[in-house]
A and B are shown apart, each in its own frame.
Chain A
Amino acid sequence: MGEFEPKIVGFLCNWCSYTGADLAGTSRIQYPPNIRVIRVMCSSSVDPIYIVRALMEGADGVLIGGCHPGDCHYINGNYKARRRVVLLKNILGTLGLEEERVWIRWVSASEGQKFADTVTEMVDTIKKLGPNPIPTRWDI
């Protein structure tokens, strides 16, 4: 068995973070392939249940990417996403799951480097946390 390679699900908004992730590729900026991205139109369309589902299915981390505050393509969707994620993280804490498994980050369409750095940093953080404990727990 090799080194633990975390599985990360990314929900990236179409206008900023997804385009930023595209730019990282176009600029050939390398980051670990641990992240698998689901494109959503806006970070406000990420239902907290998607995050919970990903964790229940064994994802070691979930990244929600949106536009910078004030720059949302849909005016204020990123603020809605931020509120939802903050609430969800509180609940995760009460379930005994590390809050650091769920990240919300602002990456603009021109920040390819920031996207790659974010993924690299997240993979490192989660490697330290170890695998998601949910699949081995009988109580949830």
Chain B
Amino acid sequence: MKKLGVFVCHCGINISSMVDVEDVAEYAKGLDGVEFSTDYKYMCSDVGATLIKESIKEHDLGGVVVACCSPRMHEHTFRKVTKDGGVNAYNLEIANIREQCSWAHDNKVRATEKAKALVRAAAIKALMDESLESSRTKVTPEALVVGGGIAGIQAALDLADTGYRVHLVEKEPSIGGKMSQLDKTFPTLDCSSCILTPKMMEVYNHPRIDLLTYSEIESVEGSIGNYNVKVRKKPRYIDTDKCTGCTDCVSACRMKDRVDNEFNFNMNKRSAVYMTFPQAIPLKTTIDPDSCLYLRFGKCGDGPLCVEACEVGAIDFDQKEEILELNVGSIIVATGYDLVDGAALYEYGYDNYRDVITTLELERLISSSGPTAGKVLCPSNGEAPKSVTFILCVGSRDETQCSWCCRIGCMSALKHVYLLKEKLGKDSEINICYTDIRSFGKGYEEFYGRIRKEANFFRGRPSEVRMKGDGLKMDVFDTTTGKLLEIATDMVVLVPALVPRTDSDTIARALNISRSGDGFFLEAHPKLRPMDTFTNGIFIAGCCQAPKDIQDTVAQASGAAARASVILSKDELENDPLVAAVDPDICAGCGICVEVCPYKARTLNDWTKIAEVDEALCEGCGACVIACPSNASIHRNFTKQQIMQMVDNIL
């Protein structure tokens, strides 16, 4: 029989304060197969690892049980230690006596009793563990980046510059994302498009970037190293090879100035054929099928004027949707965020009063490519406001809506104070109703110090915005002075919460990645694997993970690119050997397992009529093992015998 070693970790006092570790180690000595047992302060330290390795040699151990933190934390570490000690790495078992014992309980006697049971179960499993070898699969050295905002752009550029081919998929006709709608960025007041456009150009001209705009992810199959992705490329009705971006078609269109312009939040009108914004990449127009007369009714006057206007003949009404197939080794998801569109906005009269706008709408008013060519004017009367009031945390930090902080609202409002003073003059009045000013980043507090003198700050959330006489008014209780104030103002700017995109559920399901309770994509570990997901080979960057500013987004995108290149740089990857197998002597060839497998990893051999497992496709869920009526199906190192023995021993 295999000889086991049991190693009980104190984790400083994280475990030892609630579990009597010496007692557990002593108890383990009496368990079946246990040759050696000890405890140590930090088993994951170099000294702890050496202790394990030397014990393996000294006692001729064939299996190792470490009672410590969650296997999700250090299973990998101790597998390596076991291997370095000369024992096959799959003879290691972890008893989770920290997360699921010492940290969750407050009764030392009962926690110690539970720890012993967990060690008992781990030991019996280790005794029955098989030595396993990994098979290998080749890696496709190409990446997919989903989302062409600043996060996706940065990640794509980093990967392409490293030498990998990148497919960048963007839903809209142009890349650029939310950053392309901004005028300036805080705290340096860099012109947003001046710093973004060069990067967009670089993407467009990069020999290793395959840019797929106006396209969406249809389905994703496969696994790390080899994902098969289907992309749905929507028809632009423009031959992008011919289009020069002159926009003659836009001026000629019969629907000119009659279609709501989403890019400017419907504050002005566009044509049915349009260029999203002047710096769009690719610089090609798009025909909107919902408003184009020809596409809707098959008739546009005596003939479409865009066709007449286009000197290069780029208009192509016969374009059809295409499904493109890509093979990639790794995927980066950078799909961004939405602004909250809920009750919070309406309490503040967003749907009743035209002069109540959101912060992104103000960005468009300030931008020289916006609906007013950079003049800040009240939408109701077209006059410049003498007073503008910001309401921060609209929907944010609110248990009834979004409990989280949007992380950019305070700084964006401070930036707007500076820009509005520039646009409306020094005498204009600017009020800020805030909860706390969170100026946490590099240079942020200094910027706040500069702006603080320029505006009136009230610490409180207004109850509602109402029309009184001919002006907007609101009551706010200022908690710094303890006074109830009434503010009269010409324009109200709401700074709404950042929320997951409405399509994030679809994306999560297509890619099989998890979301946290707030709906943002879930990282594998909040501190140590912030760009990883639970699905190997898929990474996340930017606001799809959680709200963050451009600085943090770019840093995370570069990080995600580095993580992806760890995979892409390898010729081959080791497959996890903890997968399903078949005992050919027992298999009756009924084929039930073939139907149960969600990954098509199971096939019935035509010749032998015996089920087979493709180890590269098998993800090791174990569903086929339970479905097998004759117990011919085996989940390696999670065998039925092992689990049954664990049940017996854990009680």
Residues of A in contact with B (beta carbons under 8 Å apart): 5, 7, 9, 14-16, 18-19, 21-26, 28-33, 36-42, 44-47, 49-50, 53-54, 57-59, 67, 70-71, 73-77, 80, 84, 108-111, 116
Contacts and interface: CB of A to CB of B under 8 A. Distances in A.
Given A33-B114, A40-B638, A76-B598, A46 B103 contact: no
Contact of B620 (A38, A41, A108): A41
Given A42-B623, A109-B514, A110-B517, 5 more contacts: A38-B647, A41-B578, A42-B622, A45-B623, A71-B508
Nearest to B535: A73
7 contacts: A9-B651, A18-B72, A22-B96, A25-B70, A50-B647, A73-B512, A75-B512
Contact of B114 (A36, A38, A116): A36
- The main secondary structure of chain A at its interface with chain B is loop
Given A36-B650, A47-B643, A28 B514 contact: no
Interface string B117-132: 1100100000000000
A57 B648 contact: yes
B640 interface: yes
Contacts of B232: none
A38 to B, nearest CB: 5
A19 B113 CA distance: 22
A66 B98 CA distance: 21
A24 B107 CA distance: 16
B617 interface: no
A114 to B, nearest CB: 9
B100 A37 contact: yes
Nearest to B106: A30
Given A50-B643, A75-B512, A39 B622 contact: no
Contacts of B648: 53, 57
Given A9-B650, A58-B651, A30 B105 contact: yes
A21 B100 contact: yes
B524 to A, nearest CB: 9
Contacts of A25: 70, 98-104
Contact of A37 (B96, B621, B643): B96
A74 B599 CA distance: 8
Contacts of B647: 9, 38, 50, 53-54, 57, 59
Contacts of A74: 598-599, 619, 621, 623
Interface in B400-455: none
Contacts of A45: 621-623, 625-626, 635, 638
Contacts of A109: 514, 516, 522, 534
Nearest to A67: B514
Interface of B: 70-72, 96, 98-107, 110-111, 113-114, 117-118, 121, 508-509, 512, 514-517, 522, 534-535, 578, 596, 598-599, 619-623, 625-627, 635, 638, 640, 643-644, 646-648, 650-651
A22 B622 contact: no
A49 B121 contact: no
Contacts of B578: 41
Contact of A36 (B627, B638, B643, B651): B651
B622 A40 contact: yes
B640 to A, nearest CB: 6
Nearest to A45: B622
B597 to A, nearest CB: 10
A59 to B, nearest CB: 6
Given A45-B626, A46-B626, A40 B514 contact: no
Contacts of B509: 70
B12 to A, nearest CB: 15
A59 B627 CA distance: 24
Nearest to B98: A25
Given A45-B638, A53-B647, A58-B651, A26 B103 contact: yes
Contacts of B598: 74-77
Contact of A33 (B70, B107, B535, B621): B107
A44 B105 contact: no
Which of B70, B102, B118, B596 has the most C-beta atoms of chain A within 10 angstroms of its own C-beta? B70
Contacts of B70: 22, 25
B105 A50 contact: no
For the complex of A and B, list the 8 residue pairs with the smallest distance between their C-beta atoms, beginning with the closest. Answer: A45-B622, A25-B99, A25-B103, A74-B621, A44-B623, A42-B621, A75-B598, A22-B99
A47 B121 contact: no
Given A33-B114, A73-B534, A50 B644 contact: yes
A7 B644 contact: no
Given A33-B107, A40-B622, A42-B623, A108 B514 contact: yes
Given A38-B650, A42-B621, A54-B651, A116 B104 contact: yes
B317 to A, nearest CB: 39
Contacts of B508: 71
A37 to B, nearest CB: 6
A116 to B, nearest CB: 7
B623 A7 contact: no
B522 A47 contact: no
Contacts of A58: 651
A80 B596 CA distance: 9
Contacts of A21: 99-100, 104
